[in-house]
Structure 1
Amino acid sequence: MARTDCWSHVERVLLTHEQVLDYELPAPDLTAEVKRAAASWHIPLTRSALRRRAAVRG
């Protein structure tokens, strides 16, 4: 199979919650996202902080 350049340009977009539901897209791994953000800001994480963050992002 020949390789194509269809992914040579990738653009990030922001979707609304309704669009995510309409297209039946998978939910992001919020725990990994929170860990990355906390690491970049040197924020200590606790289980309760992760739960609160996940509940807010819902």
Structure 2
Amino acid sequence: MGLSNIFNYLFIISKLMSNMEKNLSDIKEKMSIIREKTSIIGQKMSIIVPGVQHPLPFV
């Protein structure tokens, strides 16, 4: 195995690591959006007064 092969492998590995880092960053961003939306839903649901029965829809 020549020195150029080693550098080629290192380049490929660094490219893969860079792509993984970008994907991880995208996942973290999506998770923060999900947390934000979940928080909003929780706030809206906490407004509903406990113990109040809502009428069932007419079928």
Give the TM interval when normalised to the shorter protein. Answer: under 0.3
TM-score (norm 1): 0.25
Question: Higher helix fraction: Structure 1 or Structure 2?
Answer: 2
Q: Which has the higher contact order (CA 8 A, sep 6+)?
A: 1
User: Larger C-alpha radius of gyration, 1 or 2?
Assistant: 2
TM (norm. structure 2) is 0.25
